[in-house]
Amino acid sequence: MKPIIELNNLKFKYDDDSDKYALNDISFSINEGEWVAIIGHNGSGKSTLAKTINGLILPDSGSLKVCGLDMTEENVWEIRKKVGMVFQNPDNQFVGSTVEDDVAFALENQGVPRDEMLTRVENALEKVRMTEFKTKEPARLSGGQKQRVAIAGVVALSPDVIILDEATSMLDPKGRFEVISAIKEIKSEKDLTVISITHDIDEAAHADRIFVIKQGELIDEGDADDIFSAGEELVNMGLDVPFPEKLKKELSRLEVSVPDEYLSEEGMVDWLCKLNLNK
Amino acid sequence: MLEKLIFGRYIPGQSVIHNLDPRAKLLASFYFIGLIFLCNNWQSYLLAFAFTLVVIKLSGISLKFFIRGVKPLIWLILFTVILQVLFTKGGTTYFEWGVISITQFGLMNGAYIFCRFVLIIFMSTLLTLTTAPLALSDAIEYLLRPLKVIKFPAHEVSLMLSIALRFVPTLMDETEKIMNAQRARGVDFSEGNLAQRMKAIVPLLIPLFVSSFNRAEDLAVAMEARGYQGGEGRTKYRKLQWRMKDNMVIIAFALLTIGLVFLRY
């Protein structure tokens, strides 16, 4: 597999005088078509990392390569065409006065001709199931709907990478579910690379790989099974314990012997069924 | 809160007036304001009123909205009318006391000024009620375009305008939320004398300012992340289209002008 994003010894600090690094010597690479989750405590530097990948922040030292391009002042706009970003607050990233205007905003910036824009906006709205809200103003939409519009805005641009910067953290459970399933669908259709920065375990559970960041440093890396079997340690990493893990803990309190490895929800159901048969 | 504000509100609809080109509506509204000053007798006011009422009828919006639009300005109107009535001399004098006098001309002028106010408010309310804010800012951008010759930033001004308009409802909601939050902590917004009320606004204004700046920052980052680099090389999703009915507006206003000129001389 081809790496699409490569970070080498990346360092960055907001305040030149302090010696606290927001990103301290981070190196990793992300392959094409991968879904990667970056998790960590508040203030661990994960949002900074997201902004660095999009060129909103230039690192102090180290190198960064996105889609084969080095992150430099000249390349930054080229990279932004290939990396779409959905931010945390659904209200504050809505630029257009109506849904369709907002989806078209990035296309307008690229100088896409109007006829092409019309079809691309239409298709993008179709993908996130917001076609019927096309002419609505943001004030009339729910948080989840606004985030889906933001995703449509990214999809219309047909990027190679989508970064979700805590895109579901301000949503209710329903909105969260809708946004995640929209992303999943688009990813499987277009073979996108998704980087999600999150507190939400369900979102992290969808990832192929999970990076754990603490105080600007990469402290752990692995797939969902590796990371989630850490149990109580997860809380220290800035994540909640997944529901199957909670259930396992409660069961072990009742002196049922539970397996050590992480079980997904389906895995848990299977295990529970077998347990019943064995009795 | 939104309910009280008629001025500057938009009511979606599909009438003839709604579907006009916003440029036509904007220019027509300004032209109408100038035109009103041609009126100098009751016949011409009658004509102007008839014209306005026909246009309102065409918009399919009930007259109630327009009358409610006049309400916030009623004190200004009354103040001006009363000054006119009391201090204009000429014609038959009905009442006199020192410098104050009520005369035939005074009453007439007062009535004319009242009509002028109402007509102007009706027309501008009609503009905002039937035109989506975004369409309006598109029209402004188009009309400001010639000013680029003198280095006027037409694109920036119109973007500023459309973002401002987009955030009006958001900030309204926010204001209401902050007010409620402060009320829950004991701030009273509606009581006390002037000084006390001014003080009560501080816990509303400061959070509102802070959050506006935060929003601006977030929005700027989001715009940049989506490749915004200014007006150069940008295409437009919205397109304004001048059609036959927009020509009709010109004809209607030409006829109105001729009528008013005829009645004046």
pLDDT digits (tens, 9 = 90+) for A58-103: 888 888 888 888 888 888 888 888 899 999 888 888 888 889 989 9
A190-223 confidence digits (pLDDT tens): 888 999 998 777 788 888 898 888 888 888 888 8
B156 interface with A at CB cutoff 8 Å: no
Co-location of B124 and B173 in the same domain? no
**Maximum CA extent, chain A:** 68
pLDDT at res. A238: 67
Domain residues of chain A, as ranges?
3-241, 242-278
More confident residue, A279 or B262: B262
A214-257 confidence digits (pLDDT tens): 888 888 888 877 777 776 677 776 677 777 778 888 888 887 77
User: How far apart are alpha carbons B70 and B54 in whole angstroms?
Assistant: 18
Give one DSSP letter per residue of A233-247, joined into a string: HHHHHT-PPPHHHHH
- For residue B162, is it within any domain? yes
More confident residue, A227 or A123: A123
Residues A168, A179 contacting (CB under 8 angstroms): yes
Phi-psi region of A2 (alpha: psi -120 to 50; beta: other; left: phi over 0): beta
Structural domain count of chain B: 2
pLDDT above 70 for A128: yes
Nearest C-alpha neighbor of A56 from the set A71, A39, A37 = A71
List, run by run, the mean pLDDT of 10-residue segments along chain B (265 residues).
54 77 90 88 89 89 84 89 83 75 85 91 87 82 87 85 83 90 87 85 92 92 88 82 87 90 84
Confidence category of residue A133, pLDDT binned at 50, 70, 90: very high
pLDDT at res. B1: 43
Co-location of B113 and B158 in the same domain? no
- For residue B180, is it within any domain? yes
Q: pLDDT above 70 covers what percent of chain A? A: 96
Co-location of B79 and B155 in the same domain? no
Please report residues of B whose CB lies closer than 8 A to that of A107: 235, 237
A74 interface with B at CB cutoff 8 Å: no
Confidence category of residue A104, pLDDT binned at 50, 70, 90: very high
What tokens does A102 get? 């907002």
Query: How close B162 gets to chain A, by Cα (Å)?
Result: 7
Co-location of B101 and B203 in the same domain? no
CA A66 to mean position of chain CA atoms: 16
Co-location of B178 and B93 in the same domain? no
A95 interface with B at CB cutoff 8 Å: yes
What tokens does A14 get? 């907001």
Co-location of B104 and B26 in the same domain? yes
Contacts of B73 (CB under 8 A, 6+ apart): B117, B121
CB atoms under 10 Å from CB of A147, counted, come to 30
Query: How close B184 gets to chain A, by Cα (Å)?
Result: 23
- For residue B11, is it within any domain? no
- For residue B75, is it within any domain? yes
Residues A163, A53 contacting (CB under 8 angstroms): yes
More confident residue, A261 or A211: A211
Rounded to 10 degrees, the C-alpha dihedral B48/B50/B53/B57 comes to -130
Residues B145, A108 contacting (CB under 8 angstroms): no
Co-location of B117 and B200 in the same domain? no
A54 interface with B at CB cutoff 8 Å: yes
Co-location of B114 and B151 in the same domain? no
- For residue B232, is it within any domain? no
pLDDT at res. A182: 87
What tokens does B120 get? 């102007």
Alpha helices by DSSP H, listed for A141-254, are 143-156, 173-190, 201-205, 224-228, 233-237, 243-253
Tell me whether residues A138 and B224 touch, CB distance under 8 A: no
- Chain A CA closest to residue B215: A92
- For residue B206, is it within any domain? yes
A108 interface with B at CB cutoff 8 Å: yes
What pTM value is reported for the model? 0.78
Mean pLDDT of chain A: 84
Confidence category of residue A277, pLDDT binned at 50, 70, 90: low
Helix axes A114-127, A173-190, angle to 10 degrees: 120
Query: What residue numbers bound the domain in which B124 lies?
Result: 17-131+242-264
Residues A151, A169 contacting (CB under 8 angstroms): no
Co-location of B96 and B167 in the same domain? no
Co-location of B164 and B110 in the same domain? no
Confidence category of residue A278, pLDDT binned at 50, 70, 90: low
B235 interface with A at CB cutoff 8 Å: yes
pLDDT at res. B217: 92
CA A128 to mean position of chain CA atoms: 16
Tell me whether residues A56 and B225 touch, CB distance under 8 A: yes
Alpha helices by DSSP H, listed for B185-243, are 194-225
Co-location of B21 and B101 in the same domain? yes
Residue whose token pair is 């900074």: A48
Q: Which of A82, A85, A92, A110 to mutate to test the interface with B (most CBs of B within 10 A)?
A: A92
Residues A150, A94 contacting (CB under 8 angstroms): yes
Residues A93, B222 contacting (CB under 8 angstroms): yes
pLDDT at res. B244: 86
**Looking at this protein, which amino acid is placed at residue A247?**
L
Is CATH 3.40.50.300 correct for A3-241?
A: yes
User: How far apart are alpha carbons B117 and B140 in whole angstroms?
Assistant: 24
Assembly ipTM: 0.83
Q: What is the mean pLDDT of residues A3-27?
A: 79
Co-location of B105 and B180 in the same domain? no
- For residue B163, is it within any domain? yes
Tell me whether residues B215 and A91 touch, CB distance under 8 A: yes
Give one DSSP letter per residue of A79-136, joined into a string: HHHHEEEE-S-TTTT--SSSHHHHHHHHHHHHT--HHHHHHHHHHHHHHTT-GGGTT-
Question: Which helix (H) or strand (E) is B63 found in, with range?
Answer: helix B63-70
Pick from A92, A110, A117: CB nearest B222: A92
